[in-house]
Amino acid sequence: MPRHAAVTGWGHYAPEKVLTNRDLEGMLDTSDEWIRTRTGICERRIAAHDETTSTMCAIAAQRALDKAHMAAIDLDLIICATTTPDTLMPATACLVQDSIGAANAGAFDLNTACTGFVYGLVMASQFIQSGAYDRVLVVGGETLSRFLNWQDRTTCILFGDGAGAVVLEATEDESGLLSFVLGSQGSGGPLLTIAGGGAAKPASPETVAAGDHYLYMRGNEIFKFAVRSMVQAAGEALTKAGLTQEDVRVVVPHQANVRILRATQEALGLPWESVFVNVDRYGNTSAASVGIALSECADLGMLRPGDNLLFIAFGGGLTWASAVMRWADVDAIVAAREESPNVI
């Protein structure tokens, strides 16, 4: 029997504190008009002092488990995509594992910046399709606000905090991942980096004084790379799946900038209405962004069984990722599991 990996649960969490463009006007030499027209962002969420990547991921994960009617104890694996882990060690995935009580799950972090959630979806699907595991949690979370230089108007206006999660499980239902493309170009790493605090530049008074612990980005070059890589990866993923643009019902992209999304959508010849956008409300939440977007699409009832979803993302590394997924009949899979929990 062919095994597929269907998303059967989803959830997201965004901190309560909203930081609007108007708020930023009072902190920096910038304007609501500049930010909106250049990025499409109106506001972003900022983690409270007692919130971290793992606490936000744990809430999103629990919401995804609740949606799937699944207990954390039944998870086989937790993949946490993040560039802003609570600590270098232990992995944030282990903190989430402990917090939700997933005592039978392996756990590890994945760092491909903004493509992390799509890389995680692809990886989880491989574990399930191979027969190694039946139930995998993918969670993406970021606390980017702690790594931003709030005096640098070229970066701090772009990013926000939050987390998104999905539960994938084995099914015979013809659904789940149809194709994917993952790519990287390490030579572009210096275009988008947090250079301090690692083995190459351990934290010291000098690295702190130089601001090496802050996110640094060459926005213009990233912009061009983003459109080029996402257009190419999306085209390849569709071809691999044997589909065309007309077969795509919803595009779930990494939410970095509306102009990047517009340019990508136009180059791919997809209708703008098919592209899900929430960057206006959250800014760029990096590894969380695709997870939050997917969770919101599902909550809004936009995804029907049999729908083809196209994921596209780019990010630090540099990396890119695209995947085509067929949305499952979630209610039927959950009902079948609840009827006979040990059959797969």
Active site residue 213: no
Question: Residue 196 has which token pair?
Answer: 């301090």
Active site residue 114: yes
26 burial (CB, 10 Å; 0-12 / 13-18 / 19+) is exposed
- CB nearer to ligand ACO: give 243 or 267: 267
Active site residue 156: no
- CB nearer to ligand ACO: give 192 or 309: 192
Residues 184 and 261: their CA atoms lie apart, in Å, by: 20
- CB nearer to ligand ACO: give 108 or 223: 223
The 3-state secondary structure of 159-180, one letter per residue: ECCEEEEEEEEEECCCCEEEEE
Is residue 165 within 8 A of residue 61, CB to CB? The reply is yes
The CB-of-231 to ligand ACO minimum distance in angstroms stands at 15
Residues that bind ligand ACO in the complex, under the rule CB under 6 A: 30, 34-35, 38-39, 113-114, 153-154, 157, 192, 217, 219-220, 222-223, 226, 256-257, 284, 286, 315-316
36 burial (CB, 10 Å; 0-12 / 13-18 / 19+) is middle
Catalytic residue among 57, 254, 257, 297: 254
- CB nearer to ligand ACO: give 34 or 108: 34
The CB-of-119 to ligand ACO minimum distance in angstroms stands at 12
Q: Under 8 Å CB-to-CB from 162, ≥6 apart: which residues?
A: 12, 13, 14, 15, 45, 56, 141, 142, 282, 285, 288, 292
The CB-of-79 to ligand ACO minimum distance in angstroms stands at 18
The CB-of-226 to ligand ACO minimum distance in angstroms stands at 6
Catalytic residue among 80, 114, 156, 297: 114
Residues acting as catalytic residues = 114, 254, 284
